[in-house]
Amino acid sequence: METSVVNQSTRPVPPQAPMSDGYDDEISLLDLFNTLWPAKYWILGAGVLAAALAVLISLQMPNVYRSEAVLSPIADSKGGGLAGLAGQFGGLANLAGISLGGGSGVDKATVAIETLKSRAFLATFIERHQLRVPVIAAEGWDQEKKEWLIDPEIYDIQQQQWVREVKPPKQQVPSDLEVIEQFRKVLTVSQDKKSMIVTLSVDSYSPEYSQKWAQALIKDVNEYLRSKDVDEAKRSIEYLTREIETTPLTQIQAVLYQMIEEQKKTVMLASVRDGYVFQVIDPPVVPELKAKPKRALIVVVSVFAAMFLALFTVLARSAFKNAVEKNNKGE
């Protein structure tokens, strides 16, 4: 048998992967350092400039104060008017052929919160307390003189008239809708779903007026819903009285008289309660500390943003320069 001898020197050698020297990361970091170090003063300068601009701009921003109140909804399971009677006496009334309508499934606290945000209530509130000028034209508050700082390009205090220039559909004199939308930005009403506690807060350039507006909102919403329920109860009494006159059955009349008695209780309770819907747990006070602007945060964010932009610019310029050099070498 012949044995073939393979010459080791002529055997093909498979290609080997290039060996990693283990310094790729270090070289990359070194390149990054070499790129950024010459621009260190430019990067730091961008941060210092951003800090200076942020300080100047934030100092020009007026202080905004927040007055906050904590409210507890007053429990009232019966409701008022025919809606409340429907849940109590609906069955008996239907037997007598009397329609009381459907009961309302929404509690008064929810109704009050939505009322505070409603256009109808806020339009009346703004008009009653003359908030149109401070809401739209105020640009600050003079703490020494205790008066609004009004933008002269929006409202002329001497002539007592609006002088602003606006584009349609806006009007020179702010509409109710515009004032309401602006006021909603400074009004916050929230309710804790577990405890049902309601928190109401109002922001304003004036610490005194933030407290006054918060107080007025609580008082007015209580009065608004009180008046609404009393009027509804009185209309219910009139309706039930007419039904008694047309109902011959004494038993049905007795039920109707009981319904009238319930409505009279509603009117009486509404008249004696100070807080009809909300009981004030923690009343609004005149704030001593501003709520915003947060000037320190503005400065810090501005410095980091400026330095990041400077770093990005330096790296981008370096990458572009390297790409141009490679193209030139390739040619």
Percentage of residues of the chain with pLDDT beyond 70: 82
The pLDDT of residue 131 is 95
Residues 83/88/91/96 CA torsion (nearest 10 deg): -80
User: What's this model's pTM, rounded to 2 decimal places?
Assistant: 0.74
d(CA 117, CA 190): 11
The pLDDT of residue 326 is 77
* pLDDT tens sequence across 270-311: 777 778 889 999 999 999 999 999 999 999 999 999 999 998
Percentage of residues of the chain with pLDDT beyond 90: 48
Same domain, 237 and 312: no
| Token couple for 78 | 């019966």
Is residue 236 assigned to a domain? yes
Same domain, 214 and 254: yes
Same domain, 207 and 321: no
**40 or 329: whose pLDDT is higher?**
40
Same domain, 243 and 321: no
Q: If you ran DSSP here, which 8-state letter would residue 294 be given?
A: -
The count of domains in the chain is 2
* pLDDT tens sequence across 217-242: 999 999 999 888 888 888 888 888 88
Residue 77 confidence (pLDDT) above 50: no
Same domain, 114 and 42: no
Q: Cα-flanking dihedrals φ and ψ of residue 89, to 5°? A: -125, 15
The pLDDT of residue 2 is 46
d(CA 30, CA 207): 55
Average pLDDT over residues 160-186: 93
Same domain, 203 and 320: no
Residue 3 confidence (pLDDT) above 70: no
Same domain, 242 and 262: yes
Same domain, 271 and 301: no
Residue 14 confidence (pLDDT) above 60: no
Residue 134 pLDDT level (bands cut at 50, 70, 90): very high
Residue 1 confidence (pLDDT) above 50: no
Is residue 30 assigned to a domain? no
CA distance readout (Å), 232 to 51, 84, 169, 228, 266: 61, 10, 38, 6, 10
User: How large is the greatest C-alpha to C-alpha distance in the chain, in angstroms?
Assistant: 134
Q: If you ran DSSP here, which 8-state letter would residue 292 be given?
A: B
Residue 79 confidence (pLDDT) above 70: no
Residue 204 pLDDT level (bands cut at 50, 70, 90): very high
State which residues form the domain around 69.
Answer: 65-128+187-282
Assess contact for 279 and 112: CB atoms under 8 A: no
Is residue 44 assigned to a domain? yes
Residue 82 confidence (pLDDT) above 60: no
| Token couple for 3 | 């044995």
